[in-house]
Amino acid sequence: MPVDLQALYPKLIHLMLDTVFVVDRDNTIVFVSNACEALLGYRADELTGTPITRYMHPDDLEATRASIIRIMNGHAHFDFRNRYIRKDGAVVHILWAAFWSDEVGARIGVARNVTALTQAEQELRFLAHHDPLTRLCNRSLFNDRLVAALHNARHQQRPLALLFLDINDFKGINDVHGHAAGDRVLCTIARRLEACVAATDTVARMGGDEFTVLLPDISSPAAVAEQIAQILAVMAEPLGPEFGDIGMPSCSIGVACYPDDGEDADTLLSRADDDMYQQKRRRRAAG
């Protein structure tokens, strides 16, 4: 007995894990497969007869409309991504394969949920330039920003400052309370440093218990001293009760300014690092 493919096709479409959309030239949904409920949270009958643009993320409307025009002009695509708003308000990332059918008088698209993939890609891109523990900029991104800031400082003939911070006696926290507790302290330090600086400044973890702060818009030595005083005051605040008997460690801060202490990134980092170690030596000698 021959297989009735015409009767089988609609059932196959509704069995697909990806969602099939058929949309007319006025952007009205005329058909959608049952997988739409898993994708967008709406039943097929809720979507049919409504404009597909209603569900698109507003920030993606312009690019999506441009894509629709290309499709209707006969240019099928198989790798377009955009975002839609689910019925529950959540955002879903979608990968589309779509084409225009003159025979049907509609565009036909297959939508795949790539939210998890997109989030994984975004996390990988983030981790390429950020410290995985503190979420601060890493050494590579900091160096790039320092080079760019120096270029702007030369062009605008204005100073900038670079701070190099080392957490005093941090090894003792790891030795006594464990590395998990030490990691929590480092994250607290990172958040405190971020709270001390402006949006145009950069805080980075260079590794271990060493941090840097780039101040590209600093106006004078007095402003640098004021910024250092603010950081020292914030760092001196005790840890919260969730840290138990762990004391907030102090820090030593070295500073280097462009152009007085150097005119390139390596020199400034070296000068700030040297100044930081001088601060540590003075602290040990005094204590």
Q: Which amino acids are annotated catalytic?
A: 209
Q: Which residues contact 63 (CB under 8 A, 6 or more apart)?
A: 82
Q: Whole-angstrom Cα distance, residue 178 to residue 171?
A: 10
Q: Whole-angstrom Cα distance, residue 59 to residue 12?
A: 34
Closest Cα to residue 31, out of 21, 39, 41?
Answer: 21
CA angle 116, 98, 62 (to 5 degrees): 75
Q: Whole-angstrom Cα distance, residue 108 to residue 129?
A: 39
Q: Whole-angstrom Cα distance, residue 162 to residue 4?
A: 75
Kindly state the tokens that stand for 176: 């006594």
CB atoms within 10 A of CB 153: 18
Q: Whole-angstrom Cα distance, residue 117 to residue 199?
A: 30
Q: Whole-angstrom Cα distance, residue 100 to residue 62?
A: 19
Kindly state the tokens that stand for 242: 């969730």
List the end-to-end C-alpha distance of the chain, in Å, as a whole number.
Answer: 96
Q: Residue 198: helix, strand or coil by DSSP?
A: coil
Q: Whole-angstrom Cα distance, residue 276 to residue 280?
A: 6
Q: Is 114:96 a contact under the CB 8 Å cutoff?
A: no
